[in-house]
Amino acid sequence: MAVEPASSMSTPDFGALVARHRNYFLSGATRSAEWRKTQLIALRSMMKDHAEEFYAALWTDLRRNRTDADWTDVKYMTSEIDHVLAHLRRWMKPLAVSTPLVLTPSHTQVQFDPLGVGLIIGTWNYPVMMVLSALVSAISAGNAAVIKPSEVSLATAEVIARLVPEYLDRNAFSVVLGAVPETTALLEQQWDHIFFTGGSTVAKVVMTAAAKHLTPVVLELGGKNPTIVHSSANLRVAAHRIAYGRWFNSGQTCTAPDYVLVFKDVAKAFLGHLKETLLQFYGEDPQKSPDYGRIASSHHFDRLTKLLSSGTIFHGGQHDGTDRFIAPTVLVNVSPDSPAMQEEIFGPILPVLEVADVREVIDFVNARPSPLGLYLFSDDRSVTKQILNSTTSGDACVNDCTLQPILHDLPFGGVGNSGMGKYHGEWGFRTYTNARGVLYHSTRLDSAVRYPPYDRNQRLREFVLKSASMAPKLRASLGSYRIPLDS
């Protein structure tokens, strides 16, 4: 029996919803490569068939233009699905591992089993990518899932809720619309996996709920991503790439540069390039630019305008509450203790602080919670190596920023305060599977060396253990003419 999307139910029974999906999962219907591919192809068709609806919804929610919507949402999703389809059978193939000689004849492997029924809680700033990318990972691993899009990006959430049941297997997937009460009720259910994108405050609520059932979680939380501009950097290119990364989606990006640490001897020149770049990108009146977005809600607009007093406005600062518009803004003379440096900005404001040397950079970064991304602009390899080896972040870019989520083969996710767990591509497939070790041991031989009485077999046991320890060296010496010792 097909499961209707929970958004269409007058009184949703989430317990029954999860039970239906779990019964379907336990039937084995989701495990085959054919089922997984069918669902992925259907999801790709959904994105292509209804691209115009997604463009319109993203414009309504975030004033995201079509070029940006393709880059991070519509065409990005079709590209990610194509990548998974191209590699899925290889990922699903069990991984052979070595078996001790004492267990001959036998062989050992790791098979990747789906976890079951997952909950995907999306966010509003990338309401397509941050929901459907997790869904792609869940499908690729053979799972069922319930999707909870963000109520802040309501237009996009409603498109997802309407289309997913039309294209995907309703026995395996549902969409729930709503806000805090619905999310709270969903978290009370027993899940096999929870994927959450958002802030650390809500993440603690999610993790507490997951702990009741020892449910594994992926938390993608963002953070204050440091961006370092070294004296050796190409300052014009750095300005272009930092501006693009910071002000794409009006700065409402978890991987965006949150602040800049620029070396004092190039600070003035860098700021000049940054101002020139912003004028080039968005013009003298960015409110009229078709390429510049809007703040998602009045709440976030009010929060962001309070941060404008955290330093001296070097460029920008204009804002209009009726349009939820805040101009691309650069702050200088910013104290590390200022409000803008105490929380993730998540908006179009960029503090620029000056530093004296590499040691100051490392100490500054390490004194704060581990970020989702760390960005370093430098043409000095020794500096690059020193900073990367002395700091921690979920991901990092050298001479670029913000791009790591769109690279299908990179593990994307945070560390420490910026989250846990990785996904995209094969990393997402592994996240949604249990790596299950399996030993296949033949009964043709049943050596007495492992059984009591131990005194009787001591010398034989010592010989077998010594032989087992020599097996790797023997394999290495045989090279391509390896004897299958563990078969």
Question: Which residues are part of the catalytic machinery?
Answer: 220, 254
- What is the DSSP secondary-structure string of 302-323? HHHHGGGGGSEEEE---EEGGG
Contacts of residue 307, Cβ cutoff 8 Å, sequence gap at least 6: 339, 340, 345, 347, 349
CA angle, 177 then 148 then 122, to 5°: 125
Which residue bears the tokens 């602009």?
Answer: 377
Asked if 104 and 486 count as a contact pair (C-beta separation under 8 A), the reply is yes
In total, the chain counts a number of residues equal to 487
Within a 13 Å sphere around the CA of 131, how many CA atoms are in the beta-carbon half? 30
Radius of gyration of the chain (CA): 26
> Phi then psi for 217, rounded to 5 degrees?
-130, 150
Asked if 452 and 439 count as a contact pair (C-beta separation under 8 A), the reply is no
Name beta bridge partners: 325.
Answer: 320
Interatomic CA distance for residues 330 and 487, integer angstroms: 64
